[in-house]
Chains A and B, each alone.
Chain A
């Protein structure tokens, strides 16, 4: 009988399986090595922090897509919900700022309102998918258009730009600043430095890294260690099994889509902090595609039931390193799209050709 599949695995099969599971990490390390030679100022603390900083919104979108894809669904609306959240929060902050509200208050109100509003697209997606049996692809495709239209209406097609100047300072600051031998400070540059000294300033740990680490840790914990996470995998593995095990799958899926659009909303608010303006998502930004690519590179299957937060983080990091490394190596930015497309396809081929044996 085929009782002991596990023990009959040969060494080479095991090796292949381990390689297939961890290729994304290996590949990332290899391209980091290559870019270290080809890229100007690539292998530097400042550059890696830069990659992480710019990956923040992708990490949020990819994490949200991870939950959805594990259930066997897909959320195409994340990129445009992010744009909606960005212009909505910025618009509120702008109006309150113009009415002479203190910056802290106007920023808090704008951010919180936008986050709450961004629950709505997810709620609608979830209800459409569970109660009305609309396929996730269609429901979220519709929501993508709606969110885009709302964002354009709110912003009237222009960036929302008259915001408190403290915003980008918060979003782009570092935890520690060191001026070698002279000064050290936290959260803002040491006072009274200018000119040449700025160039010597060493910045360590961007605020965005602290922020995203906390969020990612919480999401990882939810997926890996909690009942909610377990049920998410069960739904993706077998909807029938989940239903018969007494899991309220409709409620669970609605929460998943709400979580997804909430995280997209968080990405939009963060984007305002990072850039200092609120801007709608342009067509061609392809946030949702990059998010899906990150998840798939991280080992998830669009059939559901597979994947994880750590894999997705590696996927995002891989895409970030490629973009940054190609840029610093002087490669035309258009090639980046080709690279991402190729890696996405390779990821799926690897997933298909090496079934999980371990």
Chain B
């Protein structure tokens, strides 16, 4: 099957530092790819080139079979690549549906010439997308500041999905969540996969990644060092690839292996 997103030989330099060096990878429709690596491995920089925050210094990005130049976050969004940052980027003083529609508000005309916000429409549509994702939030009229961490994450995900994301990039989606909520978010990722969305997950939580990902890409010092199908690897091997040790499996919690 053809890749939904494919990056070829992407390179990004910051002055003398090569943050991302000649990295190629791909994501298919309905596939979850875990992007792993220690701090400073270049995961975020790689992702930011796909989401339009940075422009690559070298290499090409293909989306749905065509080469694309993603020169701004808006450009990424316009071709249906949505990014969920760790801090979620929600306006806490606005309610859930206003956040889902932020920047793309639905307007209606009153007296034929005055544009006003169509709150009923936005509320109804937001309910629809939350239902589709099997998310329950007490009231969409509540401000974000009154929601729990998991509910916020759900609102942020709904926002991406409502705008028909084909590729969803998630940066540490389970960090800062309680155990139950982590599980909910992971369930949500599986649900999105079943709906045919390609997903890249960056996470330090190996357990989470192993429970949802189909494939893993491991980076170290700006380079891609390995790519593994989830069924053909185990956490020990991944840890050794991340830290760059040849044989660490004996030292690190053998009990974790199943």
Interface residues of A (CB under 8 A from B): 1-7, 221, 225-227, 230-231, 233-234, 236-238, 240-242, 244-247, 305-306, 356-357
B92 touches A6 (CB 8 A): no
> Which residue from A6, A226, A230, A356 sits with its C-beta under 8 Å from B98?
A230
> Which listed residue (A7, A230, A241) contacts B89, Cβ 8 A?
A241
- Docked CA distance A170–B150 (Å): 59
Tell me the B residues contacting A by CB distance below 8 Å: 73-74, 77, 85, 87-94, 98-99, 102-105, 107, 114-117, 136, 138-139, 142-143, 145-146, 148, 150-151, 178, 180-181
The one of A1, A233, A238 in contact with B90, judged by C-beta atoms closer than 8 angstroms, is A238
**Cα A247 to Cα B103 with chains together (Å):** 6
Q: Which residues of B contact A230 (CB under 8 A)?
A: 94, 98, 102, 105, 117
Task: Give min CB distance, A34 to chain B, whole Å.
Answer: 35
Decide yes or no: A245 and B89 within 8 Å by CB, A225-B117, A226-B115 being known contacts.
yes
Asked if B103 contacts A246 (CB within 8 A), the reply is yes
Contact of B148 among A3, A225, A231 (CB under 8 A): A3
Instruction: Say whether A234 contacts B117, CB under 8 Å.
Output: no
- Quick check: B91 and A305 within 8 Å, CB to CB? yes
CB distance from A161 to the nearest CB of B (A): 42
* CB <8 Å contact, A1 and B104: no
7 smallest A-B Cβ distances: which pairs?
A: A245-B103, A237-B91, A237-B93, A305-B93, A245-B102, A225-B116, A246-B103
User: Which of A1, A226, A237, A240 has a CB less than 8 Å from the CB of B94?
Assistant: A237
Nearest CB in chain B: distance from A248 CB, A: 10
Query: Shortest distance in angstroms between B107's beta carbon and chain A's nearest beta carbon?
Result: 6
Interface of chain A: mostly helix, strand, loop or mixed:
loop
List chain A residues, Cβ under 8 A from B102: 230, 234, 241-242, 245, 247
A356 close to B90 (CB less than 8 A): no
Distance between B169 CB and nearest chain A CB, rounded to angstroms: 13
Given A6-B139, A7-B138, A306-B93, are A1 and B98 neighbors across the interface (CB < 8 Å)? no
Which of B91, B98, B105, B107 has the most chain A CB atoms inside 10 A of its CB? B91
- Say whether, besides A225-B117, A226-B115, A226-B117, A5 and B91 are in contact (CB < 8 Å): no
Chain A residue, CB-CB nearest to B103: A245
A233 in contact with B138 (CB, 8 Å)? no
Give Cα distance in the complex from A168 to B115, angstroms.
37
Contacts of B74 in A (CB 8 A): 246
Residues of the B chain whose Cβ atoms lie less than 8 Å from the Cβ of A357: 146
6 A–B pairs (Cβ distance < 8 Å), ordered by A: A3-B136, A221-B116, A226-B115, A234-B91, A236-B93, A241-B99
Bound-complex Cα distance A53 to B181 (A): 56
Whether A234 pairs with B146 at a CB distance below 8 angstroms is no
Q: Which residue of B lies closest to A244 (CB)?
A: B89
Q: Which of A221, A227, A237 contacts B107 (CB 8 A)?
A: A227
By a CB distance below 8 angstroms, the chain A residues around B145 are 356
Whether B73 lies near A244 (C-beta < 8 A) is: yes
- Asked if A1 meets B181 with Cβ closer than 8 Å, knowing A241-B99, A241-B102, A244-B85, the reply is yes
How far is A315 from B240 in the complex, measured between Cα atoms in Å?
63
